[in-house]
Structure 1
Amino acid sequence: MSRAKQVLDLAKDQGIMIATAESCTGGMVAAALTDIPGSSAVVERGFVTYTNRAKIEMLGVLPATLTAHGAVSEEVAIEMARGALTHSGADLAVSITGIAGPGGSEFKPEGRVCFGLADAGGITSETIEFGALGRARVRDAARDHALDLLLARMRTK
């Protein structure tokens, strides 16, 4: 069974609505979930906030946070996840912001992706260094990791 199907089944069993806030994945998590029939029972909405302006306007990410930490940071991932909950009727939100490549810098290399996960119990964040796998593979890995985060959170409920 696919990760996405597992997420949907568990969310449906628990009566949980999910929202996504995605930057470098461009909606891939929401697409993985909504590719499955019946997903409307648990997928509340997805935000694709590729630019800083979109993060600010759609999710309420603070300009000061973007200035201080940059878009690819756990601080921004946290504000994205919080914003997805605030601006939706969801019970659980996952956020993704990263550098899929090509490119990056010495300080923020290609393959660095920051994740946020928010629900009524709080917000967690983490950074994964996927490495310079190439754009498509970094995005796929980020999508899969976000689905794993959703699964892990629901399994602890």
Structure 2
Amino acid sequence: MDAADLAARIVARAAARGVTIAVAESLTGGLVAETLVRTPGASVVLRLGVVAYATEMKERVLHVPTQLLADRGAVDPEVAIWMARGVRQLAALDRSACTIGLGTTGVAGPGAQDGHAPGEFHIGVELETTHGLDASATSHLVRGDREAVRRAALRAALDALDAALERTDLAMHSESTS
């Protein structure tokens, strides 16, 4: 299944279940949100997309803890989780609810960044469930040029959203965002 088909599947499944999504992107630079938005009906599901490319934007806009960024840098699975948490909270401002937050951070290349190899990236997810919040991250290392790394991160992010939609305990918050 290609990225467009997977995005269409995510949008359809989320809409059918009343699940809302917000994404915070760094290395993907808006690619995840753009791929979801290409799907008709995405306005029912996608609440917010934020590109926080600069580290200080991760801290100031998404509220990634200053000490975490100082200790580990921006390329870290915990940073991805905090990005997901921050964007989910931002998306909940007007209606007090957003089910899934997703964050992407990493190094697209061509060179290393803060000791992290090109092709290293992390996908963070925070879910609002009927039992409370649940957060997790996956870490990846792929070879290729910048575009190949970004495409791999897009796929990993879409896979994470698709996997989250397998859960039967997600909170429901759907209303049109358009």
User: Post-superposition shift, 1:156?
Assistant: 2.4
CA-atom RMSD, angstroms?
A: 1.3
The answer to whether 1:62 aligns with 2:65 is yes
Deviations 1:94-147 (A, max 9, x none): 11000001011694111000110001231001211112x000010011011100
Partner Cα distance (1:57, 1:105) in 2: 21
Picking from 78, 86, 107, the partner of 2:89 is 86
Which runs of 5 or more residues in structure 1 are unaligned? none
- Pairs aligned (count): 156
Q: Which residue of structure 1 aligns with residue 176 of structure 2?
A: none
Compare relative contact order (CA 8 Å, sep 6+) and give the higher one, 1 or 2.
2
Structure 2 residue matching 1:116: 3-state secondary structure = strand
The answer to whether 1:151 aligns with 2:162 is yes
Q: TM-score with structure 2 length normalisation?
A: 0.84
Equivalent residues in 2 for 1:5-154, closer than 5 Å:
5-89=8-92, 90-104=98-112, 107-120=115-128, 121-131=133-143, 133-154=144-165
Give the AA of the match of 2:86.
Answer: G
Give the AA of the match of 1:52.
Answer: T
Give the AA of the match of 2:155.
Answer: D
Q: TM-score with structure 1 length normalisation?
A: 0.95
Runs of 4+ in structure 1 deviating by more than 4 angstroms, as ranges, are none
Query: Whose helix fraction is larger, Structure 1's or Structure 2's?
Result: 1
Structure 2 residue matching 1:155: 3-state secondary structure = coil
Partner Cα distance (1:61, 1:106) in 2: 18
Structure 2 residue matching 1:115: 3-state secondary structure = strand
